Chain A
């Protein structure tokens, strides 16, 4: 090749090396047919999770976290993450925090929260809002930043204080321009109303919803009794004013307070529908309004090995899709197959699905349409039993999933949720 400029030889070499790399690379799209095996392969440039924790979730307006601001919940979670992972905070280059209700996205408070938690000024922070998938989006964004080499170590997180920030203030008035466009105007139809509509359109019966909801409660109760949340929940100590006595005291919150014993499909069957007289949706078969925060520490496998971080699992890929705003509940049904396709695996190769239980109606519909084995879905219960602090849920699911996969010796998991205004997100994870 005497007549060639060196860069031409280099070009040719890199093209031929592509023949080898793109097929066997785990974080690139693994080739079909070899799906599961390819996913389980370990590569130095895998994006791995080395710590995934959350606060307990407590009831919005009532629970012991009701007086704690979102940024404080986040700061406590970051502190817990630092103490659990023992990572040197100066190594963390960026933090993304998902949050839905905070005015201004919470950008200012969360930067402050990171400083309070012990991160140095060199650790960047941003907030983001993709409605109920904000926490997942935060983790995916950080994973992608790591993949592209923008950062080496980052934290995906989510927080929501529904007690202090839930209300009409979270959405600005729609302009005439938006109001006069039918599909655009549908974006602000309240979740409960449109889920009721969807339940009746898609023929999800009250009985099916109540049975699903009761099973969520029962699974969560059993998991709580067996201590299966211990690895993901880290206690927080907060100030709490008892609404009855007006007495303020310091409490240490250790467990989800939404989980209750004695709930059956029959007991739920007695509750009156919330959104319409003939409706099927009520407080017992919809997700609980809750407060909480969660955080996930992400980095390359090579980095984790170098600094001695324990690897819980790895991130494979994620999908985001749009669906009609009035059918936002079907989001997981559309997002999950896309994520599986990107990962090159079939639905049966997945061991556990963590699908957010925004409403029993939409969750039941998605499971049925996707033909998922109910035993694989939310084995420790879901948002109906322990709550759905909106922006936090996506980050919460990563820990819930990976700790359960590891405990049971299983490997491949999917997290997914429907997203208000008509979207769905899903991500594929592998436990190690």
Chain B
């Protein structure tokens, strides 16, 4: 099955309500819903409100009735597939590269932006001037655990390109972007990052937590590698570390995800080399 499109596609999400439905985020700002069981080459629905590139879409994992999109136009939008117009617009006022629903809390979603901030919204909060925004964490802030040394390591703001919610540890998120550092945060302790995972040589374009293990995550980077990391699982005694490095891509690696149904550790990645690599993470862990 292949669908022709008029513009680049930057993200894709499976519908959580219909096994044949697939949602795409497009460079022309549109979100399009396809039914892979139908033959026509056309989407079954098009959602056109974003004025610039729609760079991410995410299906609500808890209530399943809605999905979210984020765009370079500085907005996150919430949609119901049965309605043409968005249900809600959450402004970030900054080019927004990634949005994700919390897998644990219904109505909670997050985004990371060019302005180096992680935003969290809780749609259960009453409508008010702050548009359900409950947290706005500077990603570049000094690590939380560092004691009050004279000069803490400090970081300039840097565009955040990707983030993901941990599937096991409620409230834990990871972010990454142009400054090449993957950071973990706990929204219950929003002062600063818990862990810094460093190693990528260029911007990190995509990160995703393991569906099988609470401490494992995968990343894809402009340095053409995909890497596997542990953040120590929230245990201070276990160090955060890079566990493996998959260097088979010959161009920017822009996407990576885990296989939910095969063996634990199977992954697929894509990149500007016009290839999808299907691999076993364990084969790259020395």
**CA gap between A1 and B156 in the complex, in Å:** 35
Q: Pick the most buried of A23, A344, A346: most chain B CB atoms within 10 A of its CB.
A: A23
Q: Which of A2, A4, A23, A341 contacts B158 (CB 8 A)?
A: A23
Given A2-B6, A344-B156, A20-B27 contact (CB < 8 Å): no
Known: A2-B6, A12-B53, A347-B151. A31 touches B205 (CB 8 A): no
B273 at the interface (CB under 8 A from A): no
Q: For the complex, give the distance between the alpha carbons of A34 and B158 in Å.
A: 14
Residue from the list B53, B72, B161, B181 in contact with A31, Cβ < 8 A: B181
Closest to B179 in A: A31
Interface pick from B105-113, B163-171, B195-203, B275-283: B195-203
Q: Are B151 and A33 in contact (CB under 8 A)?
A: no
1/0 per position for B151-165, CB-CB distance to A under 8 A?
101111011010000
Q: Would you give the 0/1 interface string for A14-44, flagging 1 where the beta carbon is closer than 8 Å to chain B?
A: 0100111011100001011110000000000
Count the B residues whose beta carbon is within 8 Å of the partner chain — how many?
Answer: 29
Name the A residues within 8 Å of B179 (CB-CB). Answer: 23, 31-32
* Closest chain B residue to A342, Cβ basis: B156
* Shortest Cβ gap from A338 to chain B (Å): 10
Residues of A contacting B27 in the complex (Cβ-Cβ under 8 angstroms): 1, 4, 12
A2 and B205 alpha carbons, distance in the complex (Å): 26
Cβ–Cβ contact B153 & A15, under 8 A: no
The answer to whether A32 touches B156 (Cβ under 8 A) is yes
Nearest CB of B to A374, in Å: 15
- The reply on A340 being an interface residue by CB < 8 A is yes
Is the pair B150, A19 in contact by a Cβ cutoff of 8 Å? no
> Roughly how many angstroms separate A240 CA and B182 CA in the complex, as a whole number?
65
Complex Cα gap A340–B155 (Å): 10
The one of A2, A12, A24, A346 that contacts B153, using a Cβ cutoff of 8 Å: A346
Interface residue? A371 (CB, 8 A): yes
**A184 CB within 8 Å of chain B:** no
Q: Known contacts A1-B27, A3-B28; decide if A19 and B178 are in contact (CB<8 Å).
A: yes
* Complex: A342 Cα to B157 Cα, angstroms: 10
In this complex, how many residues of chain A approach chain B with their Cβ under 8 Å: the count is 26
Nearest CB of A to B95, in Å: 7
Contact A33–B7 (Cβ < 8 Å): no
Least Cβ–Cβ distance between B137 and chain A, in angstroms = 16
- Inter-chain contacts of B95 with A (CB < 8 A): 15
**Interface code B29-53, partner A: CB below 8 Å = 1, 0 otherwise?**
0000000000000000000000001
The reply to whether B156 and A29 form a contact with Cβ atoms under 8 Å apart is: yes
Q: How far is the CB of A6 from chain B (nearest CB, A)?
A: 14
Known: A3-B28, A33-B198, A341-B154. A22 touches B178 (CB 8 A): yes
List chain A residues, Cβ under 8 A from B158: 22-23, 31
By the criterion CB–CB under 8 Å, are A33 and B155 in contact?
A: yes
B249 beta carbon closer than 8 Å to chain A: no
Given known A-B contacts A23-B203, A29-B156, A32-B181, A4 and B7 have beta carbons under 8 A apart: yes
Looking at the assembled complex, report how far the CB atom of A377 sits from the nearest CB atom of chain B, in whole angstroms: 15
Contact B161 A34 (CB under 8 A): no
* B213 interfacial contact with A, CB 8 Å: no
B199-238 interface (Cβ within 8 A of A):
202-203, 205, 222
Chain A 275-294 interface 0/1 with B at a Cβ cutoff of 8 Å (1 = within): 00000000000000000000
A sample of 11 more A-B contacts (CB under 8 A), given A31-B158, A341-B156, is: A1-B6, A4-B28, A12-B27, A18-B178, A19-B203, A20-B222, A23-B158, A23-B179, A31-B179, A34-B198, A344-B156
A-B contact pairs, 19 of them (CB 8 A): A3-B6, A3-B7, A19-B161, A19-B205, A20-B203, A22-B159, A23-B158, A23-B178, A23-B180, A23-B202, A31-B155, A31-B181, A32-B156, A341-B156, A342-B156, A344-B155, A346-B151, A346-B153, A370-B150
Q: Which residues of B are interface residues toward A (Cβ below 8 A)? A: 6-8, 27-28, 53, 72, 95, 140, 150-151, 153-156, 158-159, 161, 177-181, 196, 198, 202-203, 205, 222
